[in-house]
Amino acid sequence: MTLKSNIFLWVFLATVVPLTALALGATYYSQRSYQHEVQREVGTSLSNLGAELDRRLQTQREVVASLAGAPAIQAYLPVLSAAAKGDLDDEYRQRSARLDHFLEEMESILPGIYTIRVLDDSGNTLLKVSNGRRSAAVYDSLSGIPYAEQEINDPAFSRAIKRLVPGEVAFVSLPHHRLRSGPFSQRPMYDYITPLSVEGERVGMLAVTVLGERIDRIIDHAPRLYKGKLFIAEANPDNAKRNGYLLYDDALSLHLAQVRPRPERLQDHYGTALWDAMGSEPYGVVHLPDKGASVYYVEVLPYPNLLVSWIIATRIDDSVISAPFQDIRRGIWIFAAVVLVISLLLANIGARKIARPVRRLAQNLKAYADGDRQVRIPPEPGIDELDALSSSFNYMTDTLEHARDERDRAQHMMLQSAKLASIGQMAAGIGHEINNPLSNILSLSKLIERGLPPESAALKGDLSSLREETLRASTIVKGILNFARQVPPHYAPFEVDAWLKDTLALVRREAKDQGVALVEACEPGLSIEGDRSQLQQALINLLLNAIHASPRGERVDVTASAAGEELRVEITDRGAGIPPDQVDKVFDPFYTTKPVGEGSGLGLSISLGIIEHHGGELRLHTGSEGGVRAVMTLPRHRPAPATAVPADDADQQDDA
């Protein structure tokens, strides 16, 4: 997986996903809380509507009770009393006419009352006023009393009215409606009925049929919270035909005062599952997942004398309640999508800013591994970690280069030491083998010279040249033997200033002959522990090389200074310098750049051996404008000899 993908994934998982999940969780939690609040608010609204309807029905009951006590009704009681005995009152017609007139006026005063009936003790209609018009008593009966409607024959109704409590207004379903065909056969509301009595004896009843226009008006003006569809259904467990009867429904345009050819039942339009769920509790909410809606309802008891209740309910689409939260969630998803795009862009930018230095580091690592020792990474401002990584890489390369230089130097020194050791061993053997013939040559040349006559000047000259060459060869052999038999230094403290002056004094004549000036500079008070004579020999070799390399009229600078616990002696000439192809050969024995016969090539090798025996270093540096700077670095104090650790102590150290 690429760095960009990793950055994007971690940023997305660490920020966008938790924030989105938290925001969505908050919306769902808020939605549940809001749904509870909606249920409480809608339930309160439905309860208020039920209370208002109950007050309206109570008012209508009081109106019916007041109407039963009206003087016109009381004046008609003798007619009802005579009818109860099977007789016809003498003032029947006059009393009936006055009561019809009174009832017509009452209908005009009390809108919403559809029909007023005065019934005898058996429930037959003596007087009837409907829609402000009286009905003539044209129906004969077996008792000879004329009725305004056909005589009923309903034992159940007769038993029901016998149980009515005098003075109270009750609700019944009048069988008189069934005597008429047409739309009036199915009525949503029950009829009001109250007994009429004379001296405590029931002689008849006052029945009032209300269309329900006033109740419709109350329901029509009731608030429809959350765009709900209001409906009212009758719960009547004793009457299967009316159980679930839809009294009012916004969706079906049903009203209480509406004329209906047939009853409309809730089960037929909304399903029996909803009706069963609503019948289990007096109030609550029923969710309809398949329809995406919820039904909130309350149950009220409008009829005191009947086991009949009204279920007042409102059907609210879930989308109406969840719409604000859906918008919020839609906004959250849009926000998440925008953040996703921004995260991709930022991941791309971040990956570029991070990946470019990382890629550069990888390339530089490969280049360094391939041999490019000069590769370095510039600082990366703005990102501390990458800047630290760049610094670490540069530090690593510098450290490795330094370690490599030290290793190469150590290897070179080891090779040089091995070379010197092997050459020394060889030189010692050769020197001993050559010394004897050279001694014999010198002895024989002297004997031959003694035996020559005086006039043999030419031969004597040749013998003199022979002795000179033999002596030169002997000198070379002596140098070889001195190089081969180098002994360990004899350490003793001495002053550097005096040692330096004494050494320069030994080579001043040679410097004067070469026309080179010697300039010294020594830090005062310096002292060192070492073999004074061996170190002097090493310094003389370096000074002679510098003097011979410097042109006439130039100078050789010699400085001595302290560098911590080390003595640093520098010899700088003004010569041509060392060619690059000869730098690695200058310390080899018998290697010299001087003409044949002018140098043995052992000076630098002997100096290097002496300095290394003292634990120091000798380095040669060629300047950019020529000249060689020889740097001799020596410890100022004798190194402590390594002591063997007893076995017991070693074991204790290991245990520690």
Task: Centre a 10 Å sphere on the Cβ of residue 194 and count the other Cβ atoms it contains.
Answer: 22
651 occurs within a structural domain: no
Do 164 and 69 share a domain, yes or no? yes
Residues 480 and 496 in one domain: no
Predicted pLDDT at 205: 93
Residue 480: per-residue pLDDT: 61
Q: Is 264 within a domain?
A: yes
Residues 29 and 65 placed together within one structural domain of the fold = no
- Is 452 a member of any domain? yes
Give the Cα separation of 192 and 62 in Å (integer): 10
Backbone φ and ψ for 287, nearest 5 degrees, come out as -90, 135
- Which pLDDT value is given to residue 144? 75
Residue 494 Cα distances to 269, 488, 528, 570, angstroms: 125, 18, 6, 19
For residues 441, 442, 445, 449, the Cα torsion angle rounded to the nearest 10 degrees is: -170
Residues 441, 445: Cα–Cα separation, whole Å: 6
By the 10 Å C-beta count (0-12 exposed, 13-18 middle, 19+ buried), 104 is classed as middle
Assign residue 508 the CATH number of its domain.
Answer: 3.30.565.10
pLDDT of residue 449: 74
Alpha-carbon distance of 264 to 243, in angstroms, equals 10
**Domain identity same for 194 and 223:** no
**Average pLDDT, consecutive stretches of 10 residues, N- to C-terminus, the chain (656 residues):** 64 74 84 88 94 92 91 90 83 88 84 84 90 85 82 85 88 81 64 90 91 89 93 91 91 86 86 87 90 92 90 92 84 82 75 71 78 74 70 82 76 63 64 74 78 76 76 66 64 92 89 91 91 87 87 91 90 81 63 53 74 86 80 87 47 40
Whether 581 and 533 share a structural domain: yes
Q: Are residues 424 and 454 in the same domain?
A: yes
pLDDT given at position 427: 64
Task: Show the tokens assigned to 439.
Answer: 């001694």
Please list, in sequence order, all residues whose beta carbon lies within 8 angstroms of the beta carbon of residue 608, skipping any fewer than 6 positions away. 416, 420, 587, 618
Which of 485, 501, 532 is the last residue before a domain boundary?
485
Instruction: Clarify whether residues 81 and 198 are in a common domain.
Output: yes
Confidence (pLDDT) at 634: 92
Q: Domain residues for 115?
A: 52-211
Q: Are 175 and 154 in contact (CB under 8 A)?
A: yes
- Number of other CB atoms surrounding residue 266 within 10 Å: 24
**Do 204 and 57 share a structural domain?**
yes
Domains of the chain: total? 5
Bridge partners (DSSP) listed for residue 635? 566
CA dist., res. 72 & res. 102, Å (int):
7
> Does residue 148 share a domain with residue 69?
yes
Q: Is residue 650 part of a domain?
A: no
Q: What is d(CA 152, CA 159) in angstroms, rounded to the nearest whole number?
A: 13
Predicted pLDDT at 494: 93
Same-domain check for residues 478 and 570: no
In a domain, 365, yes or no: no
* 58 and 207 co-located in one domain: yes
Do 111 and 197 sit in the same domain of this protein? yes
